[in-house]
Amino acid sequence: MHFAMGAAGVAYIAMPAATRTKQWPVGGHSQSGENAEGRREEDRISKEEFMIPRFQRRPLTGLAAALALGASLSAIAPPTIKFTDAKLQNGLRLIVAEDHVAPVFSVAVVYNVGSRNESRGRTGFAHLFEHMMFKGSENVGPGEHFYTVFANGGTMNGTTNKERTLYFETMPANQLEAAMFLEADRMRSLAIVKENLDNQRNAVQEERRQGFDNQPYGRTNEAVDDLAFDNPAYKHSVIGSMDDLSAATTGDVAAFFQTYYAPNNAILAVAGDVTDAKVRELARKYFEPIPAQPAPPAVDISQPPQTGERRLALEDSLARLPRVDVSYRIPPTPSPDAGAIDVLTLVLSGGRSSRFYEGIVRQKQLAVNVNAFGPDSRGPRLLRIVATPTPGKAIEDLEAAISAEIEQLKTRPIADWEMEKARNTARRQFVGQLGQSLTRAINLAEYALIYNDPGQINTRWDRLTKLTPADVQRAAQQYLSDANRSVVITRPKPAAGRGGL
């Protein structure tokens, strides 16, 4: 999203006196190679980490210091995140993780609604609400949520994906009540009026033009999902279609809000310099009076097995180099095979010693980058491999080299050192987030959503210690077959044919 500060002259909002501050003056996933494509999940994490205040970034101590000195994670126990997990009377799930090392806290509110919940003709609604939720509520004017957080030394943002919509803020410890009030007020009384809808619809449509329609490979990413998935809930993009957004009415939007933005369809996680008792007190004060709504309709996540390779050739007038996208269907994140898939993804594409980089980028020099990633999902998902050939190299040779590396995984178990490196990399990436209140709050909320178990923050990566090279080989044989593969080849289109794919 692109944010703007509140209207000039707004210094603070009407909120309980205990939460007011003085009036502030108002002023004017794994990669191999360079510049990887398909980094939406990695970009999201980087953005959230960037927005953490500097005073929250800690010196290297304990586990982090040991990692910096090169210690093996197999010999280091990750820290245990202590938390409480409860439900309010209206069904809101409340998770609290106290940590008094730094005088800050983070709030993450996850709504169980993403693009997979959208019906035909209503695509883009979940992402539209990511914008609408910042346009004011009964006690908070347009832009005042932003201004209140920023003026009091905090940061905030929101993101949407297929599975959920997330809103979060990080603020100084003495602003807990302000954050709770702000989030509760928009959950209770979002301002759904035609002016706000028109403004944010235009903003989303412009975001689509800039991020998809007028970006190299922008429509390729949509084509991958459309080709690989049969389930309608997962075929369309998060940002939705222009036609669906243009047809949306305030009545449509109000119905969507009432269905999905209810306390019994949300998870509130608070982490940092707070007390469990105070968070519960404020949650009961501000959130518990919000009435529950009937449970939203369940999402059908079924999908027939793929029985043969699918291929699509595209031309892109904005692309300067060809690109190959190879996607394999893989099971949902809570599946027992998810750990083996995590490992094989890192073996293929986890840094400069990975098979893709060493074999395809460095030795054969067929590609400038080859990347593999598989975002979390409770339903159908893909292991995507995205590669850009070195100028002058044939894209057919690059695709063949990728297939050869996949076959190696299926015919021979990975080496012990590759297994250990993948374990250490996965744990390091995960544990490295746990020192920040923001990523702790987000992880707790998202694990509660995906696994119905926020305790996965302490146990998810334990499953990697029990895996063997044979487990990884079996997963490769089961899921990385030609019949389970979808391939999209994108080639530059001559300038005379400009106009998209």
- The string of pLDDT tens digits covering residues 318-350 is 999 999 999 999 999 999 999 999 999 999 999
Instruction: Round the average pLDDT of the chain to a whole number and report it.
Output: 85
pLDDT tens digits for range 359-376: 999 999 999 999 999 999
- The secondary element (H helix, E strand) that includes residue 310 is strand 310-316
63 and 195 in a single domain? The answer is yes
**Does residue 390 share a domain with residue 344?**
yes
When divided into structural domains, the chain yields a total of: 2
- Between these two residues, 161 and 1, which has the higher pLDDT value? 161
126/182 same-domain check:
yes
Give the whole-angstrom CA distance, residue 176 versus residue 202. 33
Q: Which of 236, 252, 287 is the last residue of a domain?
A: 287
d(CA 196, CA 190): 10
Output the pLDDT for position 470.
97
- Whether pLDDT at 49 is above 50: no
pLDDT at residue 70, as a whole number:
44
Evaluate whether 250 touches 194 at the Cβ level (below 8 Å).
yes
| 265 and 327 share one domain | no
Select from 272, 287, 302 the last residue of a domain.
287
Residues 248 and 324 in one domain: no
Q: What is the pTM assigned to this prediction? A: 0.84
* Euclidean distance between CA atoms 129 and 246, whole angstroms: 14
pLDDT in tens, 397-441: 999 999 999 999 999 999 999 999 999 988 888 887 788 999 999
Instruction: Kindly state whether residues 279 and 388 are assigned to the same domain.
Output: no
- For 404, the domain range is 310-497
Any domain includes 185: yes
Task: Specify if 196 maps to a domain.
Answer: yes
Looking at residue 297, its pLDDT comes to 96
Query: Is 421 inside a domain boundary?
Result: yes
Gyration radius from the chain CA atoms: 23
Label residue 276 by pLDDT band (50, 70, 90).
very high
What tens digit of pLDDT does each residue of 159-206 get?
999 999 999 999 999 999 999 999 999 999 999 999 988 988 888 888
Rounded Cα distance between 376 and 331, Å, is 10
Q: Tell me, what CATH number does 86's domain have?
A: 3.30.830.10
16 within domain boundaries = no
Same domain, 224 and 263: yes
Residue 74 has pLDDT above 80, yes or no: no
C-beta neighbour count of 35 within 10 angstroms? 9
* Contacts with 358 (C-beta within 8 Å, 6 or more apart), sequence order: 352
Residue 242 confidence class, pLDDT cut points 50, 70, 90: confident
Q: Are residues 332 and 218 in the same domain?
A: no
In a domain, 459, yes or no: yes
Identify whether 89 is part of a domain: yes
Residues 269 and 375 in one domain: no
Please tell me whether residues 122 and 251 are part of one structural domain: yes
- Residue finishing a domain among 255, 287, 319: 287
Residue 19 resides in a domain: no
Scanning 299-394, the segments in alpha helix (DSSP H) are 338-349, 355
Q: Angle, to 10 degrees, between the axis of helix 469-479 and the axis of helix 338-349?
A: 90
Domain membership flag for residue 4 = no
Bridge partners of 33, per DSSP, are: 369
Task: For residues 130 and 226, state if they share a domain.
Answer: yes
**In the structure, what pLDDT confidence band is assigned to residue 34 with cuts at 50, 70 and 90?**
very low
Pick the closest to residue 73 from 459, 472, 429 (CA basis): 429
Q: Do 144 and 104 belong to one domain?
A: yes
CB 151 within 8 A of CB 141: no
